[in-house]
Amino acid sequence: MSIGRVVVAMLGLSLSVSAANAVEGNSLAGPVGGTDIRSAFLPPPGLYGGVIYAHGEADGFTDGNGDEIPALNGLDITSNAGAAFLLYVPNIQVLGGSLGFAGVAPIAETCGRLFEFTPDKCISGAFDPYVEASWSRFFGTLRASSQAGAFPIFEGLAVQLGVGAIVPIGSYEPRAARTNGVTLGNNIWDVAPFVALTYTTPPLLADGTEFSAKVYWNSYAENDHTKYQTGDLINVDFAITEHIGRLQIGLAGVYFVQIEDDRFFGFSVPPDGRRAELLSLGGVAAYDIPELGATVKIKAQTTIFTENFAPSQGFVLTYAQKLY
């Protein structure tokens, strides 16, 4: 079993996940910390970068009916991840929109156990990196914020199309006994086309209410070590927030549902194909620093319901800035 990504749905981490009787498990496309606010936008041309810290905890595991699996009551995983990221937006227009090329390189320490009778162990190293290419176009108007010194407000609709991939070059331990079931990399490709929409209203409560959602279709290759293949999975990162000058605050969440059975040596994994489903909700707040061309963001979430997955909770801190 691979348990390192058991907190993925909570944090949007590029870790590794397992089902109770799976040899391998799910991975979700997207950057460490997931996407939430402004998800369909690309910034003006330039080079951007930043750092991310994420903490997540998970215990227990549920079956296909959402009931706790007694044999996995002792599952206890804690993960602390850090990542650096870059985003390049060239100074060109395609069909009235912008192009963006991004990469995220995470490292982490994951500690835990599968069962109460096994000791805690820790493993640290590199997670599988995430890369994506996208096109974004804004249909709307740019207006000033009601508060001086804040970024302008993009009122209207932004659309983004693209494709992302988790590249299987992170630390991977095929013999789980060495790591007590905890491993960092997945050893599988995950290629995920995506579409994102962001709509900001005229001023209602403050500077405008933003609705954002980004939908990924994850398609997995077979793990050549284990001959296990995860079924296709759709994940949605979303947020409903309010712009208040430099502050943006509101609700954020992630939902995913597996639409195909997991397969082992080509056969569906009993009893239900290990199809996973999860909803996590929480709060998100971002503070813009226009004089530095920067934004600081914090997000915290907890699991609302889950099937064939582990309930989890945690938080993510992000700092992003224009470099050039």
Res 261: pLDDT: 87
Res 194: pLDDT: 97
Q: Is 260 exposed, middle or buried (0-12, 13-18, 19+ CB in 10 A)?
A: middle
Cis omega (within 30 of 0) on the bond before 271? yes
The one-character DSSP state at 11 is H
Q: Is 143 exposed, middle or buried (0-12, 13-18, 19+ CB in 10 A)?
A: middle
Res 4: pLDDT: 34
Question: Which of 127, 161, 131 is closest to 11 using CA atoms?
Answer: 127
Res 120: pLDDT: 78
Place of tokens 């996407």: 35
Evaluate whether 213 touches 240 at the Cβ level (below 8 Å).
no
Res 324: pLDDT: 92
d(CA 49, CA 107): 16
Res 16: pLDDT: 33
Evaluate whether 186 touches 167 at the Cβ level (below 8 Å).
no
Res 83: pLDDT: 93
d(CA 271, CA 259): 15
The one-character DSSP state at 29 is -
Question: Which of 206, 287, 234, 315 is closest to 37 using CA atoms?
Answer: 287
Res 224: pLDDT: 85
Mean pLDDT by runs of 10 across the 324 residues of the chain is 38 34 51 88 96 89 79 78 95 96 92 74 87 96 91 96 92 61 76 97 95 95 85 94 97 93 87 88 96 95 90 93 94
Res 25: pLDDT: 41
Triad 84, 79, 294: Cα angle to 5°: 30
- Across 21-47, b (16+ Cβ under 10 Å) vs e yields bbbbbbbbbbbbbbbbbbbbbbbeeee
Residue type, 245: G
Res 175: pLDDT: 63
Res 111: pLDDT: 85
Res 121: pLDDT: 80
Res 72: pLDDT: 67
Triad 109, 188, 101: Cα angle to 5°: 80
